[in-house]
Amino acid sequence: MASSWLKILTAPLQLLIVLLHVAASSSVSSRCFTTIYSFGDSIADTGNLYFDINTDHHIPPSQSLVLNLPYGETYFHHPTGRWSNGRLIIDFFAEHMGIPLLKPYLGIKNGKIRDWNPKEEGVNFAVGGATALDPSFFVDKGINDIATNYSLGVQLDWFQHLLPSICNSSSGCKQVFGSSLFLVGEIGGNDFNYLFFLGRPIEEATTYVPLVINKISWAINKLIDLGAQTLVVPGNFALGCSFFYLRNHPSTDVEDYDEAGCLKSYNNFADYYNNQLLAELNRLRQLHPGVNIIYADYYHASLQLYQSPTQFGFTKSILDSCCPLANANYHNAPVKHCGEPGLISCNDPSQFITWDGVHLTEAAYKRIAKGLLKGSFTNPKIGISCDSDI
């Protein structure tokens, strides 16, 4: 029912989206970006939650598990606050540009990170569990289990607080940020995850789509006013292929699944949201013709992995999660969660797309990053001229 309903909603947009897509398809002039400023949630958090654990802010037990092994085991060999076994998409962006991996703002603010040059490295404001909308919105809706108060608006406040250490005026900031890449997201996914985790219907989540997109649009306008000239704005992932959704929202009707085994209804929702976001980005492009606003298609960049896993080196199915090891029957929830004491992960995470049931492995993130930087999953293309191999 929800799947058909979303298809009807989405269908009238298709011609418009195609036309807008073509209008914005020319590549951004090739340039060498030297810094990244990142906003978002756990998909891009490189340690803000890790450093937040030392403050008075309450960290829910489910969130603090990321501070334990086996998180970070593959590349860093210790937990860094990243929600994966190793590097994230943002890390591969930095490596591709030949700059240091982004340091988390809270580590800088708390004085735990001292060797940081604001003009040469950029900074990461993303926090695991963050939402686009303010937490008060969810409290009013009876949703009280929001993992963090550090929403997109708070992250923008952090950036403005740090701004005087980077540049001195609006004109000076525009000059400084001419070689900076602003990654605005992925953000907004948790706004819907919190609903779906509680079993709320897709129809309800759809009513929140304009609110989430308006908040992201507000942030983009704010960053442009502060001097940002190149912004990458990711859409949502293919939710219907996520281990968590497949395990917690199973259906007995085979028609509810596509050929890859993904849930059509949740993928249709993610596709609907992404089309709405892309339409808003095209509107912003008209308002800011001198600014490069790039859509990052996380949906199709991740969907290709689920549809053809062996083509990308993954031997495990979408019903397998590396940490914790899932039972053969994925409907049986594992007793332990990734990061709990004594829990080990699979022997070879590179064979898995899914890391902990929600987030992906380093190998999957690397494939997605390559599709964004070298493939056809950004609109327009990012166009980095000082890139390294990935």
Over the chain (390 residues), the average pLDDT of each successive run of 10 is: 53 47 46 91 94 64 84 96 97 94 93 80 94 96 90 97 87 89 97 94 97 98 96 98 94 97 98 98 97 98 97 95 64 69 91 96 98 95 76
Long-range CB pairs of 169-175 (<8 Å, 24+ gap) are 170/225, 170/226, 170/227, 173/226, 173/227, 174/227, 174/229, 175/227
Choice among 41, 91, 320, 356 that is catalytic: 356
The answer to whether the Cα torsion of 217, 223, 226, 230 is positive or negative is: negative
- Judge if the upstream peptide bond of residue 289 is cis by omega within 30 degrees of 0: no
The encoded tokens of residue 77 equal 């060999």
Tens digits of residue pLDDT in 179-202: 999 999 999 999 999 999 999 999
Catalytic residue among 41, 84, 300, 359: 359
pLDDT single digits (tens) 88-124: 999 999 999 999 999 999 999 888 888 888 778 899 9
Instruction: Determine the Cα–Cα distance for residues 76 and 182; give it in Å rounded to an integer.
Output: 25
Domains of the chain plus CATH, in order, are 31-307+373-379 (3.40.50)
Distance separating alpha carbons of residues 191 and 129, to the nearest angstrom: 9
The helix (H) or strand (E) run that includes residue 183 is: strand 180-184
Whole-number CA gyration radius for the chain: 20
What's the pLDDT score for residue 137? 96
Decide if 359 is catalytic.
yes
Residue 249 a catalytic site member:
no
Task: Please state the pTM of the whole predicted model.
Answer: 0.90
Ramachandran angles phi, psi of 232, nearest 5°: -105, 125
Q: Is 356 a catalytic residue?
A: yes
Provide the terminal-to-terminal Cα distance of the chain, rounded to the nearest Å: 42
DSSP labels, 308-364: SGGGGT--S-TT-BTTTTPPSSTTS--SS-TTSTT----S-GGG-SBSSSSSBPHHH
Catalytic residue among 42, 242, 265, 321: 42
* Crossing angle of the two packed helices 298-307 and 264-287, in degrees rounded to 10: 150
Measured distance CA(269)–CA(253) in Å, rounded: 18
CA distances from 237 to 56, 266, 377, 382 (A): 33, 10, 12, 19
